Amino acid sequence: MSKPAPDRAPRAYPWLAVWALGVTQIVSWGSLYYAFPLLLGPIEQQLGWARSEIVGAFSLSVLVAGVAALPVGISIDRFGGRALMSWGSLAAALLLALLSRTESLAAFYLIWIGLGVCMAATLYEPAFAVIYRNFGEDARKGITALTLIAGFASTVFWPFTEWLVASLGWRSALIVLGAFNLLVCWPLHRFALPPTAPAVRSVPEPPSGADRNAAIPWRAASFWLLGFVFAANMLAFAVLSVHLIPLLVERGMTSARAAGLAAIIGPMQVAGRVVEYLFGRRVSASAAGLTALAVLPAGLLLLIAGGRSWVAVAVGLALYGASNGVMTVVRAIIPAELFGRERYATLNGALSVPVIATRAAGPLAASIAWSAAGGYTGILWALVLVSALAVVAFYLAARR
């Protein structure tokens, strides 16, 4: 007598979820994160607020996303991702519409706080958790495929948002961006994601009190080492994502050449993920992460030593881009490899808190350091040091 098939989501669901989430990640990242720089100037001109006040609201929203990451992870472990991500898209649509009508700085901040919660409910972290709950041991391939698709968010939404703002104005552009969340993201989250993951229903409810260590290894040194690694890696990405062009201009390059060199990063991120997708089964996530982390300080050193040599800078940025592309996947995979797949969403949410906080605070800290030092060289050396420490910390975490 044959054994009954295990109780799990239908076989078609996992890849359907990946393709659906690929589309929703492009829209969610594009409308909630990448659109902001294109809206900054027009909002500043029309409403007369200081640029620091406007940027402060966005930074606060990213910090809120970090704080919300853990409760979002606990919710996904309990109920799955369908309802959470669906409501996140509906709320994003409503809040973007409200943002288009705002005239008050206080209301502007309140809306961005709400959008921070929407980011926590719709961006990479919950998407990774949904895939993990339905792919199980094959999640690495699904997550890599998702990041390959979602990697085009800025490529699509930067020119699209610029066109919307130029054609319709920033207020109407926000209405359109909200409509994408309502008409694209909400139905895909609602109808293409599994309602639950039956394979994990036997796992007890997320713990409280003394049992919390069963979900999050608070006492494990490897957990804290991993949190430092993720935050250190995000620090380099967050700082360079904002400061790279002025850094290259400071070193004597024209704005056009600086922008052209910066364009190398996106394709190299995708290239790193393609390599991970094709060869990921042959190496552990620990080995892939250690390699990617070791490449980063080498790329940063080339930025320091390259000076005005565009060849050296191009190679340095290529290494930086490939490293970041692979680490996006490793951040999603390594928690399960080190701590197991039970309550993955809760654990991943906890480890996302320092990452998202660094993403919000890193550029501001670099601005303050630049003003104090009068240049970017010291900042680059600090990133090299932190990145090198991350390699050591990751090695120690993976060994435990």
pLDDT by residue (tens digit) across 325-356? Answer: 888 888 888 887 788 777 777 787 788 888 88
Residues 131 and 232 grouped into a single domain: no
pLDDT digits (tens, 9 = 90+) for 163-172: 999 999 999 9
Q: Which string of DSSP letters, residue by residue, matches 345-358? A: HHHHHHHHHHHHHH
Say how far apart CA 370 and CA 40 lie, in whole Å. Answer: 22
127 and 25 in contact (C-beta within 8 Å)? yes
pLDDT at 22: 93
Burial-class residue 87 by CB neighbours within 10 Å (0-12, 13-18, 19+).
middle
81 and 130 in contact (C-beta within 8 Å)? yes
Q: Of 79-83, 119-123, 228-232, 371-375, which gets the smallest average pLDDT?
A: 371-375
Residues 384 and 334 grouped into a single domain: yes
Report DSSP state, residue 138. G
In one-letter notation, the amino acid at residue 75 is S
The number of CA neighbours under 13 Å toward the Cβ of 90 is 9
Average pLDDT, the chain: 83
pLDDT-derived band at 295 (thresholds 50, 70, 90) equals very high
Torsional sign, CA 205, 207, 211, 214: positive
pLDDT at residue 107 above 80? Answer: yes
Domain boundary among 171, 200, 229: 200
Residue 158 lies in a domain: yes
pLDDT at residue 97 above 80? Answer: yes
pLDDT at residue 3 above 50? Answer: no
pLDDT at 8: 44
Residue 279 lies in a domain: yes
pLDDT digits (tens, 9 = 90+) for 194-235: 876 544 433 344 444 434 445 567 677 888 899 899 999 989
Say how far apart CA 164 and CA 161 lie, in whole Å. Answer: 5
Q: Which string of DSSP letters, residue by residue, matches 183-245? A: IIIHHHHHHHS-S--GGGTTSPPPP-GGGGGGTS-TT-HHHHHHHHHHHHHHHHHHHHHHHHH
Q: For helices 310-339 and 344-373, what crossing angle results, to 10°?
A: 150
pLDDT digits (tens, 9 = 90+) for 19-50: 999 999 999 999 998 888 788 888 989 999 98
pLDDT-derived band at 13 (thresholds 50, 70, 90) equals low
Say how far apart CA 243 and CA 252 lie, in whole Å. Answer: 15
Residue 3 lies in a domain: no
Say how far apart CA 196 and CA 98 lie, in whole Å. Answer: 32
pLDDT at 280: 67
CATH number at residue 302: 1.20.1250.20
pLDDT at residue 137 above 70? Answer: no
Say how far apart CA 295 and CA 330 lie, in whole Å. Answer: 14
The structural domain count of the chain equals 2
Among 237, 235, 232, 230, CA closest to 348: 230
Residue 2 lies in a domain: no
Domain boundary among 167, 200, 233: 200
Contacts of 90 (CB under 8 A, 6+ apart): 181, 182, 186
Reported pTM: 0.75
Residues 196 and 221 grouped into a single domain: no
Among 112, 116, 124, CA closest to 81: 124
Say how far apart CA 299 and CA 380 lie, in whole Å. Answer: 11
pLDDT at 294: 94
Alpha-carbon distance values, 265 to 54, 102, 313, 315, 325 (Å): 27, 35, 11, 10, 9
Coil, strand or helix: which one is 20? Answer: helix
pLDDT at residue 129 above 60? Answer: yes
pLDDT at 273: 81
Say how far apart CA 259 and CA 256 lie, in whole Å. Answer: 5
Residue 169 lies in a domain: yes
pLDDT at residue 133 above 90? Answer: no
Say how far apart CA 368 and CA 52 lie, in whole Å. Answer: 13
258 and 268 in contact (C-beta within 8 Å)? no
Residue 49 lies in a domain: yes
Residue 209 lies in a domain: no
pLDDT at 196: 64
Residue 153 lies in a domain: yes
Domain limits for position 55: 12-200
Q: For the chain, give the percent of residues with pLDDT over 90.
A: 33
Residues 249 and 326 grouped into a single domain: yes
Q: For the chain, give the percent of residues with pLDDT over 70.
A: 90
pLDDT at 44: 87
Residues 71 and 114 grouped into a single domain: yes
Residues 45 and 103 grouped into a single domain: yes
pLDDT-derived band at 12 (thresholds 50, 70, 90) equals low
φ/ψ region of 48 (left if φ > 0, alpha if ψ in -120 to 50, else beta) reads left
